[in-house]
Each structure stands twice: as C-alpha cells, then as structure tokens.
Amino acid sequence: MRYSLMKKALIGRPLKTRELGEQKLSKLKALAILSSDALSSVAYGPEQVLIVLSTIGLVAFWYSIPIGVGVLVLLTALILSYRQIIHAYPRGGGAYIVSRSNLGENAGLIAGGSLLVDYILTVAVSVSAGTDALTSAFPELHQHNVIIACLLVVLITILNLRGVTESASVLAYPVYLFVVALLILSAVGLWKITTGQVPADLHPTIGTAVPGISLFLLLRAFSSGCSALTGVEAVSNAVPNFKEPAAKNAANTLVMMGVILAILFSGIMFLAYWFGIVPKAEETVVSQIASAVFGRNFMYYFIQGATALILVLAANTGFSAFPLLAVNLATDKYIPRMFLIRGDRLGYSNGIVTLGIMSIILIVAFSGQTEQLIPLYAVGVFIPFTLSQSGMIVKWVNEKPSGWAYKLSVNLVGALISLTVVIIFFTTKFTQVWPVLIFLPIIIWMFHRIKNHYEATGEQLRIKPGEEALQFKGNVVIVPVAGITKVVENSLNYAQLVGDTVIAVYVAFDRESEKQMEEKWKKWKPNIRLVTLQSQYRSLMRPLSRFIDLAAEKANGNDRTLTVLIPQFITKKRWQDILHNQSSLRLRVYLLYQKNVIVTTVPYRFKK
C-alpha cells in the first residue's frame, strides 16, 4: 500500500485507457519534445568539422563552408525522405518498420537493433555532456559528476513515467530558450559583420589553395559534421503520438524542426568561419563565438546555460523514441511482450524504465566520460538512415506512385550520402566504432531466439481443429499432512469435494511417530487412506517427491489427473511468518517446476 502511495506521488494518479487521446501531442509541444536531440547536436556538430580541418591548418578552415553546405544537403534529403516516410507509414515509420517491410526481416532488425542501442547511447552521452557543462560552471560539483548524471536520468525517467504531455510542458521551455539564444547569437553576429564591426582578415578567403588537403580528409570532416544530424528520425517514429491528423502534423513538425536546425547550423558554421574560430580543448566553439560576439556578459552566460540545459534534455528524445520502437519490436515478437504494456499514466513504462536503467549502467561503467561513445552513436544512427532510405527506394520502385521518379531521387541521394558516411566512419574511425560489429550480431541473434520462443509457444498453445483435448476421467488428490488439525480436516473436506480418490501422506522422521500417526488416523478418518513415508534424512521433499512420481504415473495410466493439496498458513502479521515453517511454499515451487503436477493451495487464515 505504501508502495502504491509513493508511486502515485511520483508519477501521478493512474489514467484510464480512454484518456489516451488527451495525452497526444500538439505540433508545438512535439517540436519541443522530439527535437531537443537534433537541435542540441548543433552545439557540437560544427566543432567536429573544425577539429578535423585543423589537422591540416587554419587555411583549410574555409572548407567548413562547402562541408556545411554538404551537411545541409544531407539534412534536406533526410527531412524530405522522412516526410515521405511519415506519409507512407502514418502508424509510425521508424527505420525499423521501413527497412523491415521493404528490405526484409534482417535489414529491419539491423535498423531496429542499432536504434535501440543508439537511444541508450543518446541518453548516456547527452546527460553526461550536460552534466559536464553544469559542473564546468560549478567546479566544486565536479567530483559528483556520475551521481549528478544518474540523478538527472532518474528525474527524466520519472517525468516520462508521468506521461508524455506533462513532461513536454516541463521540457518545452529549455528547447525554445536554446533556439531563441542561438537565433539572437546568429542575428547579432551577422549584424556586427554587416555593419563592419568585425575585421575581415580573421578568416581565409573561400577558394584559397590548401596544400595537403585530400578528399579522404574532407569526407572525414563531413562525416564528423553529420553528428549534428543525429536525432532527426525521432519524429517519424512518434507519429502515433501526434494529435489527429497525425501524419500531417508530424510531417509539418519535421519540416519545422529541419528548418530551425538548418538555420542554427548555418549560423554557427558561418560565424565560426567568419570569426576565424579555432577549436580548443578547454573551450567549445559555441562558447568562443558567444565570447567574440558579446564578450563575457549576461548574454554569454545565457547562451552557455541554454546549451547545457538542452544537452541534458536531448536525453528526453531517447525517452520518447525508445519505448515506441520497443513497442514495434515487441509487436513483432522480437523483444519481450512486457514492452507492450501501458503503465498507469499510459506511457510504455517498461520501455521507459529499461532505458533509464541501461543508460545509468553506461554512465556508471564509463564514470561519466561517455564522450568517447559519440562516433559509435553517430554510426549507429547512420546505419538505420541508410537502411530506411534504401527501403524507400525499393518501395517507390515496386509501387511506382505518381511522381515516383522525384521521390526516388530524393531517397537515392539520401541513401548514398548516408551510406558514404557509414563507410567513412568505418574506414577513418574504426578503433571507435568496431563494437557495432560485435553488438549488432549478438542483438540480432537474441531477437531471433526470442521470436523463435514466442512462435514455438504460440504453436504449442494453438488449438488445432480435429485435435481433441485430453478428457480426464478422474482426479487423484494427495494431501500431505503434518498432524491431525483443523487445517488438515479443512483440506481433506476440500479434497473429497474435488477428487474421486484422496490419499493423505504423512512423512515420519522416526518409527515411533509413524506408528502413533497411523493409530490416531485410524480412529479419526478410517475412510481416507493414509500413506506414511519414512524420511531417514529428515527431508520432506525427497520421500514426498518419490511418492508423487509413483502416484502420477499410476494416475496418468488411468487417464486421471493428479492434484497435490497444500495447506498454507496466512498469518495475521508479517513477522509471524518466520514462526512457521515455509515448507509449503518450497513444496509448491518444487512440485510445479520439477514434477508438473497440479498444485492447489488452500489458505488457512489465522484470526489471531
């Protein structure tokens, strides 16, 4: 009872199933809840590009502009492609569903498995990064990094268990704040540039010849920049969470998110180039830009704070997407059925809790230093990107709807760029992304094992026409007795009611008690057969189990069932349980799991 009260306080009152509609997302809320991951990537994506270019020299920095354009092209391709997916799969079309229905089971499982792991990585990476930002501001908290990160995950988990709308209300403001902060930064930066307040010689001219530059390096820089695109698939997974018309609202939200992402990314990319920002280990690029535009005044801290906050909240995207993907996989029987169950507040609580626990494990295992997981995480995103867009190509080719040539080309461009990014990741960052090659096969093998089990189960449970179920002709009831008491009398009455043959069994630890019992029994219940068993080792289980084996064999031979009746004391107070031998519980589990007999528990409730 106390547990349920605590649960209520943390999570809120249970909701009825028909209140489901009320929990659906409006476009503006959806934008907040589903885009924090994608938008927060702007905080580190541009920096990743500059880090790669800086290995050549400052003169190479002008390449960030064409690379940025490349990323924007990919972004456009992804947004257009996912818009098509949303309309084609209005009941939720993540990479898993698109790949599975167009490319086959294993392609779907690769996409689904990648994303499942990826959402866990999202949470761990984002929360750790946000915690780092927080503890950079308050260095005395730095030693408690891991605990703070774990508490943040717990907090986000609870918010999500409360339900999708309420968590959106809380989480919407920081996202808007971040967008506003970066828009102001870009606008003020541009205004300063156009009004000539920024020297023009801070950056190399576009087109300057760069010695030592290679296509390989440029592609590597491009792939690094692509980490700014992680998270854009979240909307397409979450279509069923939108208010009706769900598909249209989701598609519009996706475009809105794409536009905002493009503006923020372009702004940061351009300002970084124009101000000649050089990536430093101890200060982020965004922080340097803000410093250059505003100096270290209130606006600087506002931008830094909003960035830190959105990084933590990016984790929330994982919490929105993971349970929905889990529902898809569980519906297809690849993961346990429990992920299908809606909790008290209508969220898929098992998915939410699993994600929270897994990411806390990751954070603890890496002591909060999860930045090294970023490439793993990015590659885990681009594998499903590639698969889902390839799936769309197959779909267009097969179905050939009106205007399919345009649709095909959109997805083709997206698929090719995504595939290139994956290949570049594997060739240039193999030391960081190899675990994918281990974990993915294991996960897919597990998916198949689970599915096989469910299918075998279904097969065994299915009633085949013409196959007659075994009709029992009688019921043999065995009642283990420890003495002559009301409980035994009670049990025997019940046994005679439900069985045609009743056998009482008494386990004696010595000859004397055996004799005594037999004599007493003869006087008490002469019409019920008593079997006494000797136990040399003072064990109830062993002689009883041997006897039950024999009885079961005999009963089955006569087409009769065997039931063992176990009386169970129900004490009035919890502490009194220790005063009673818990052998009835042990006996029940043993008989059920080892012996396959039917077990009936007859409760005997103490009044005192």
Q: Write out the residues near a second copy by the rule CB under 8 A.
A: 14-18, 336-338, 341-342, 344, 450, 453-454, 456-457, 460-463, 469-472, 474-475, 484-487, 489-490, 493-494, 497-499, 509-510, 535-539, 561, 563, 568-571, 576, 578-581, 588, 592-593, 596-603, 605-608
DSSP secondary structure string, 355-388? HHHHHHHHHHHTTT-GGGGHHHHHHHHHHHHHHH
Give the nearest distance from C-beta 287 to a second copy in angstroms: 46
Q: How far is the CB of 360 from a second copy (least distance, A)?
A: 20
Our CB check for a second copy shows the closer of 420 and 568 to be 568
CA dist., res. 40 & res. 228, Å (int): 8
Cβ 581 to a second copy shortest distance, Å = 6
Q: With b meaning 16 or more CB within 10 Å and e meaning fewer, what string describes 287-308? A: bbbbbbbbeeeebbebbbbbbb
Q: Which is nearer to a second copy, 228 or 495 (CB)?
A: 495
475, β-bridge pairs: 561
d(CA 419, CA 415): 6
Provide, rounded to whole angstroms, the least separation between the CB of residue 303 and a second copy: 44
CB nearer to a second copy: give 371 or 518. 518
User: Minimum distance between the CB of residue 216 and a second copy, rounded to whole angstroms?
Assistant: 45
**Is the CB of 287 or the CB of 350 nearer to a second copy?**
350
Element (H or E) spanning 314, and its range?
Answer: helix 298-331
Residue number with CB closer to a second copy (233 or 332): 332
Tell me whether residue 405 is exposed, middle or buried, using C-beta atoms within 10 angstroms of its C-beta: 0 to 12, 13 to 18, 19 or more.
exposed
Smallest distance from a second copy to CB 177, Å: 36
Residue closest to 111 by CA, chosen among 451, 424, 388, 450: 388
- Nearest CB to a second copy, comparing residues 369 and 539: 539
CA distance 148 to 157: 14
Using the minimum distance from each CB to a second copy, give the nearer residue, 473 or 554.
Answer: 473
For the CA atoms of 405, 409, 411, 414, the dihedral, rounded to the nearest 10 degrees, stands at: 180
**Cβ 329 to a second copy, closest distance in Å?**
13
Give min distance, CB of 443 to a second copy, in A: 15
Measured from the CB atom, is 208 or 576 closer to a second copy? 576
217, 300 contact by CB (below 8 A): no
Contact yes or no for 96/389 (Cβ under 8 A): no
